[in-house]
Structure 1
Amino acid sequence: MPAVTIQVLPDQLINQIAAGEVVERPSAVVKELVENSLDAGGRHIEIEVEQGGLGLIRIRDDGGGIPREQLATALQRHATSKIASLEDLESVASLGFRGEALPSILSVSRFALTSRTAQDAHGWRIGGAGAVDASEPQAAAHAVGTTVEVRDLFFNTPARRKFMRAESTEFRHIDQLARRLALARFDLRLALRHNGRRALDLSPATDDAAREARIAEVCSEEFMANAVMLDESRLGFRLWGWVALPSFARAQPDLQFLYVNGRMVRDKLLGHALRRAYADVLHSTRYPAFVLFLELDPAGVDVNVHPAKTEVRFRQSAQVHDFLFGCVHQLLRRIRPDPLQHHRVELHAPAEAAPDPVQEPLRYARPASYGGSASQFGGSNFSEIREPAPTLASTAWPLYAGANSPAADGNGAMAVAQQPLGRALAQLHGVFILAENRTGLVLVDAHAAHERVLYERYKHQLESGGIPAQALLVPEVVRVGEAEADQLETQREALSRLGLVIDRAGPEAVTVRALPPLLAKTDLGALLRSLCGEDGDSESHFGEVLDAQHRILADMACRSAIKANRRLTLPEMDALLRDMETTELSGQCNHGRPTWVQVGAEDLDRLFLRGR
């Protein structure tokens, strides 16, 4: 076998290899260059691109500029003005610092760097195609600041260029990046043009109103209408920004903006904390929306983890995780029903020119299944959902008094004025509660709402020492798989705190000796199997003890809640509405589905062409 030959690679090839890490696509070039502009003190930055950035990327700033004698040095690898020692690296506060971006971009493009400092009478230019043309900069007309031009990206690496997407796709990445930068620096004037057309033009936002206006322009007016302000500080951490209500959940994570000390990041630790904070209120297929800024001592975070600096590592990762989770989770739990900011449904009237319009009936979505056990309101088990005739319960308003009475004096107008969810009027299809409040019509999914009320009640009972159990007169033996029986036996003590007292009855069986009263008529086999995972999966729900207990409580609440076709009396409906108004996270059920929607009076007027 021949001996191995080791050789030193040429500088240009080294730079092109580095470009593979730093310059993934045109948006990565924009990111590196704009971060350099910000680190140079730029407050007015213009981004101009053509052909999605593959034809041209031009970044102009009004920063401090680069002296003539340092322009050539700026294009060398590992040349930077931002760190000079290990101490600087461990507490870096600038956005860029590796000193790889400019030479890497130069190695795969036709590149020009023009800059002027306040001490110079004119600017100086240096550049090249794949490598520097000349070591000496040339004089050029330029204002104080820097302009970088990148043309024909990947012109000398055609294999890389083939992996680029369509022009519209590449520009969309640049547009998203510009918007993220706009939220990172409210003091920045930022403009973006594509093929000569202005896509973004933002003035500095110097006060709260201007900042909210910028967020509305970047994230949409709808986001701001559904967002809640957050600002919490403790343990040396500060978290501030805007968190959208769970009702504003998205089909994709397109409105998630997270910054650490002003740096855009996509961090698994922080992402996990935010998912946990929303776990009880979002469906598994939906994503929360937020604009959040985490601030901490720069020495407590390592930003030298990824070449593009989009990932970070925290020295106190557990504390950071718990702080972020706690802030957002507690904020969500403080939200109570607000008819003006929750699940508003707009009904569209027919065109005015249409004679004798025929109105469509209100549509509703019937849940696939509500389970099958009796609730605290009574009722029978249902093995399947039937399609009942669309009849309404009596609309008479009863005069009664009690703990959950909406108005003890029977004054319906007082109830509408004082209660966010108003007073119950009727029940529709055995599924929905219709109520009237000061804003208009409220529609409530009775099962989903009751499920949330029970779930929160169970959690409070668990925190206060455990859920009371009722011993069975005759213990019931339940057949399960051997793996499931092993899991249940292992978690016997934890289950007892949840009101489920079990013993092992054999290799594939357990004996249920006691359970919460609300589960008296539940299918115990289905319940126990659901606690261990689906289809006998060896991966149990008991991964994290508290989360596992909450998942069990959520399943218990789902099985105990009001079932479809259970006819409720008006006092029962009003009692549920009052419970919703005082229950945390009552806007969504445990699976993330909305529990109620608001139809405004003005929408009803439009539907019936009133006032026209």
Structure 2
Amino acid sequence: MTLLSPKIGAARPVIRQLDEAAINRIAAGEVVERPASAVKELVENALDAGARRIAVDIACGGKALIRVTDDGCGMTADDLPLALSRHATSKIDGSDLLDIRSFGFRGEALPSLAAVGRLTITSRVAEAEGAQIAVSAGRIEPVRPAALGAGTVVELRDLFFATPARLKFLRTDRAETQAIAEVVRRLALAEPEVGFTLTDHSAGEPRLLFRAEAEGGDLFDALHRRVARVVGAEFAENALRIDVAREGLRLQGYAALPTYSRGSGVAQFLFVNGRPVLDRMLLGALRAGYMDVLSRDRYPAAVLNLICDPQRVDVNVHPAKAEVRFREAGEVRGLIVTALRQALAGAGHRASTTVAGETLEAFRPERPAAAGPGPASRIYQMDRPSVAAVARSFAFQAPEPAMPGLAEAPAARVEAPAAEEAHDRPLGAARAQIHGNWILAQTESGLVIVDQHAAHERLVYEKLKRQRDETGIARQALLIPEIVELSPTDAARLLEAADELASAGLVIEPFGGGAVAVREVPAILGKVEAAPLLRDILDDLADLGSSDRLQARMDAVLSRMACHGSVRSGRALRAEEMNPLLREMEATPLSGQCNHGRPTYVELKLADIERLFGRR
């Protein structure tokens, strides 16, 4: 017996017009996913109203109470009923949906909230009487007078009481509170000149969860202070200033040093014209900017704002407005990647100050040995080479003669200065080598401990990359071209990027239908399985619009060569070798971390060392 689909009935379905209440509840499901969504919409309305102080009060994770108070321009008694009408807004006139310069523009937030909760709006325009309107599950009450200073108070109680099924899908009060706090933090980063507070009233006595005073002064100074307050003082201390403009696009903000990385993307804050976004293309570009200095299991930390003409970006992609679409996505990605790489290269040998802090923490005797992986052990791990690989690599370590294509030993490159003359240099003067791996250098203000293998590995790697860039990428022609069968759509997408791939050493041609012929591959990769490589590149093109897959694989080969061609643990170094190594680190970009993202040196200030011995 064949069962009919439950969607197919005996009678013809009747088309009917839904009532206004049902329409609003359905629409509310797109705009208001959870309490944090409601907070986001209300705070953005306050910012669009020109508020300079915004207070957010919540209870029970926002399920029982959300109240947003601002000192913005306010609304009149005549405005209040109109504000509760769907698609009524003061932010656009509808003539150009690509010229959007405000957070909100659809006019959906307030009617959506009013459809699923108990909403009260109290507002007053300067030099006018205050007014209040209340609505419960879509039923609007008459406007009545109210006492209020200039500004607006929007109070939402019993969220989703009109759609109780939605309540079952909300998380715990604690989880919803954390989501609300994250929304407020992101908006606080977007508007450093605005003051924010977030208070929880769940347990009787109000509990202040977040506070950020309005910052004044220069844009970067204000943002730096706000970043220190929201993301943390350690991030602000170890962040590089980004301010790059190209082709009508501008990227501003702060990006952390590679050695200040995180185990997840929790410290990645991206904005487009001040609007917080969670865009895959932008996140991929951020990742690509750090591709050469971070291992795959680490995430960069950054607060970046992309500024462009609103006509070049479409923010009307999703009701939550978290996704955007760029007219020139390639130019945007290129700007972000280039700006980050230039900033990281300009940092030279600098490493994050947290490395020294974690080192000092490891020295403290009261730290329990069984406390689990702490900061000093959790950050950087690299694969240990095999015994055979170690044996082969010692051939690269002899000062004379130098191996072709690899960096020479430090003593063969630079004449070592006298130790006394190097104390004022950033990495100081070498004083000793201990356990065959650690160089101890004395500076004017403390002590530097250098991992000789990690440091030299980065120096060799950078030299290999320079050689590759100067001479170009050598290609290896395949005796028999490899044919890869793809769908016509995938083949067309891949062939659109053929010129870009050819510049990276991969030459492809159409072979009829959905087939692609691979004729040349980068010589440095050796034997390549073309089909998996092309499919990986296709995944990148579909997800991000571009691919760094080839570049990453070639860099990985150079990284392995540098790893095996650098001085290793156990090799004794003389002072005339150690000091040139320190000088070259100071002159080489990215030398503060090795190819795997772990630090190459630790600097301990004299005051920190004295404190270890109880002398301070």
TM-score by length of 1: 0.79
Question: For each residue in 1:143-178, what CA deviation from the matched residue of structure 2 results, as whole angstroms up to 9, or x when unmatched?
Answer: 222111100111122221122222222111111211
- Structure 2 Cα separation of the partners of residues 27 and 115 of structure 1: 23
By how many angstroms is 1:339 displaced? 7.4
In the alignment, does 2:183 pair up with 1:168?
A: no
By how many angstroms is 1:429 displaced? 3.3
Judged with a 3 Å threshold, the aligned counterparts in structure 2 of structure 1 residues 56 and 215 are, in CA distance, closer, same or farther, namely: same
Counterpart contact for 2:348–2:589, Cα < 8 Å: yes
**Alignment map for 1:363-378 (pairs within 5 Å):** 368-370=383-385, 372=389, 373-374=392-393, 375-378=395-398
Counterpart contact for 1:47–1:60, Cα < 8 Å: yes
Counterpart contact for 1:278–1:288, Cα < 8 Å: yes
Q: Residue 121 of structure 2 corresponds to which residue in structure 1?
A: 113
Counterpart contact for 1:340–1:439, Cα < 8 Å: no
By how many angstroms is 1:351 displaced? 8.5
Judged with a 3 Å threshold, the aligned counterparts in structure 2 of structure 1 residues 577 and 10 are, in CA distance, closer, same or farther, namely: same
Q: Residue 90 of structure 2 corresponds to which residue in structure 1?
A: 81
- Structure 2 Cα separation of the partners of residues 76 and 368 of structure 1: 61
**Alignment map for 1:217-236 (pairs within 5 Å):** 217-236=229-248
Letter in 2 for 1:169: A
- Structure 1 Cα separation of the partners of residues 565 and 554 of structure 2: 16
- Structure 1 Cα separation of the partners of residues 39 and 381 of structure 2: 48
By how many angstroms is 1:366 displaced? 8.4
The one of 451, 461, 465 aligned to 1:455? 461
Q: Residue 207 of structure 1 corresponds to which residue in structure 2?
A: 217
Count the aligned residue pairs. 528
Letter in 1 for 2:384: S
Q: Secondary structure at the match of 1:343?
A: helix
Q: Residue 136 of structure 2 corresponds to which residue in structure 1?
A: 129
Question: For each residue in 1:86-109, what CA deviation from the matched residue of structure 2 results, as whole angstroms up to 9, or x when unmatched?
Answer: 42x111111001111111111111
Q: Residue 347 of structure 1 corresponds to which residue in structure 2?
A: 360
- Structure 2 Cα separation of the partners of residues 201 and 254 of structure 1: 19
Q: Secondary structure at the match of 2:55?
A: strand
Query: Which deviates more, 22-31 or 249-258?
Result: 249-258
Question: For each residue in 1:470-520, what CA deviation from the matched residue of structure 2 results, as whole angstroms up to 9, or x when unmatched?
Answer: xxxxxxxxxxx999xxxxxx9xx999989xxxxxxxxxxxxxxxx99xxxx
In the alignment, does 2:310 pair up with 1:295?
A: no
Letter in 1 for 2:565: S
Judged with a 3 Å threshold, the aligned counterparts in structure 2 of structure 1 residues 60 and 367 are, in CA distance, closer, same or farther, namely: closer
In the alignment, does 2:146 pair up with 1:140?
A: yes
Q: Secondary structure at the match of 1:243?
A: strand
Counterpart contact for 1:462–1:497, Cα < 8 Å: no
By how many angstroms is 1:467 displaced? 8.2
**Alignment map for 1:61-80 (pairs within 5 Å):** 61-80=70-89
The one of 441, 452, 462 aligned to 1:446? 452
**Alignment map for 1:555-566 (pairs within 5 Å):** 555-566=560-571
The one of 6, 13, 22 aligned to 1:13? 22
Letter in 2 for 1:91: D
Which ranges of structure 1 fall in alignment gaps of 5 or more residues? 353-361, 380-399, 470-480, 484-489, 499-514, 517-526
By how many angstroms is 1:338 displaced? 4.1
Q: Residue 471 of structure 2 corresponds to which residue in structure 1?
A: 465
TM-score by length of 2: 0.78
Letter in 1 for 2:195: R
In the alignment, does 2:42 pair up with 1:33?
A: yes
Letter in 2 for 1:262: G
Q: Residue 582 of structure 1 corresponds to which residue in structure 2?
A: 587
Judged with a 3 Å threshold, the aligned counterparts in structure 2 of structure 1 residues 363 and 28 are, in CA distance, closer, same or farther, namely: closer
Q: Residue 605 of structure 1 corresponds to which residue in structure 2?
A: 610
The one of 79, 102, 120 aligned to 2:110? 102
Judged with a 3 Å threshold, the aligned counterparts in structure 2 of structure 1 residues 401 and 61 are, in CA distance, closer, same or farther, namely: closer
Q: Secondary structure at the match of 1:156?
A: coil
By how many angstroms is 1:342 displaced? 7.0
By how many angstroms is 1:280 displaced? 0.9
Judged with a 3 Å threshold, the aligned counterparts in structure 2 of structure 1 residues 366 and 240 are, in CA distance, closer, same or farther, namely: closer
- Structure 2 Cα separation of the partners of residues 330 and 351 of structure 1: 41
Judged with a 3 Å threshold, the aligned counterparts in structure 2 of structure 1 residues 339 and 77 are, in CA distance, closer, same or farther, namely: closer
- Structure 2 Cα separation of the partners of residues 23 and 329 of structure 1: 38
- Structure 2 Cα separation of the partners of residues 449 and 494 of structure 1: 33
Letter in 1 for 2:570: N
Q: Secondary structure at the match of 2:304?
A: strand
Q: Residue 149 of structure 1 corresponds to which residue in structure 2?
A: 155
Q: Residue 2 of structure 1 corresponds to which residue in structure 2?
A: 11
In the alignment, does 2:438 pair up with 1:432?
A: yes
By how many angstroms is 1:261 displaced? 0.8
The one of 45, 49, 63 aligned to 2:58? 49
- Structure 2 Cα separation of the partners of residues 590 and 112 of structure 1: 57
- Structure 2 Cα separation of the partners of residues 325 and 467 of structure 1: 21
User: Percent identity of the aligned residues?
Assistant: 42
Query: Which deviates more, 426-435 or 457-466?
Result: 426-435
Question: For each residue in 1:214-246, what CA deviation from the matched residue of structure 2 results, as whole angstroms up to 9, or x when unmatched?
Answer: 221111111111112221222111111111111
By how many angstroms is 1:62 displaced? 1.6
Judged with a 3 Å threshold, the aligned counterparts in structure 2 of structure 1 residues 144 and 367 are, in CA distance, closer, same or farther, namely: closer
- Structure 1 Cα separation of the partners of residues 534 and 398 of structure 2: 36
Judged with a 3 Å threshold, the aligned counterparts in structure 2 of structure 1 residues 494 and 567 are, in CA distance, closer, same or farther, namely: farther
- Structure 2 Cα separation of the partners of residues 462 and 64 of structure 1: 59
- Structure 1 Cα separation of the partners of residues 483 and 579 of structure 2: 46
Counterpart contact for 1:114–1:146, Cα < 8 Å: yes
Letter in 1 for 2:68: I
Counterpart contact for 2:68–2:154, Cα < 8 Å: yes
- Structure 2 Cα separation of the partners of residues 363 and 271 of structure 1: 27
Question: For each residue in 1:414-436, what CA deviation from the matched residue of structure 2 results, as whole angstroms up to 9, or x when unmatched?
Answer: 11223x22233333333333333
By how many angstroms is 1:67 displaced? 2.2
Question: For each residue in 1:300-340, what CA deviation from the matched residue of structure 2 results, as whole angstroms up to 9, or x when unmatched?
Answer: 11110010111111111111111111111111111122478
By how many angstroms is 1:455 displaced? 1.3
Q: Residue 391 of structure 1 corresponds to which residue in structure 2?
A: none
Counterpart contact for 2:312–2:327, Cα < 8 Å: yes
Question: For each residue in 1:549-584, what CA deviation from the matched residue of structure 2 results, as whole angstroms up to 9, or x when unmatched?
Answer: 323322322232233333333333333222222211
Judged with a 3 Å threshold, the aligned counterparts in structure 2 of structure 1 residues 468 and 558 are, in CA distance, closer, same or farther, namely: farther
**Alignment map for 1:406-417 (pairs within 5 Å):** 406-407=416-417, 410=418, 412-417=419-424
Query: Which deviates more, 564-573 or 216-225?
Result: 564-573
- Structure 1 Cα separation of the partners of residues 53 and 136 of structure 2: 28
**Alignment map for 1:470-481 (pairs within 5 Å):** none
Which ranges of structure 2 fall in alignment gaps of 5 or more residues? 1-9, 367-375, 400-409, 476-481, 485-497, 507-522, 538-546
The one of 282, 294, 297 aligned to 1:282? 294
The one of 204, 207, 210 aligned to 1:197? 207
By how many angstroms is 1:464 displaced? 1.0
Letter in 2 for 1:98: R
The one of 392, 410, 414 aligned to 1:404? 414
Counterpart contact for 1:43–1:187, Cα < 8 Å: yes
Counterpart contact for 1:461–1:467, Cα < 8 Å: no
Judged with a 3 Å threshold, the aligned counterparts in structure 2 of structure 1 residues 540 and 147 are, in CA distance, closer, same or farther, namely: closer
Query: Which deviates more, 246-255 or 1-10?
Result: 1-10
Judged with a 3 Å threshold, the aligned counterparts in structure 2 of structure 1 residues 340 and 111 are, in CA distance, closer, same or farther, namely: closer
Q: Secondary structure at the match of 2:69?
A: strand
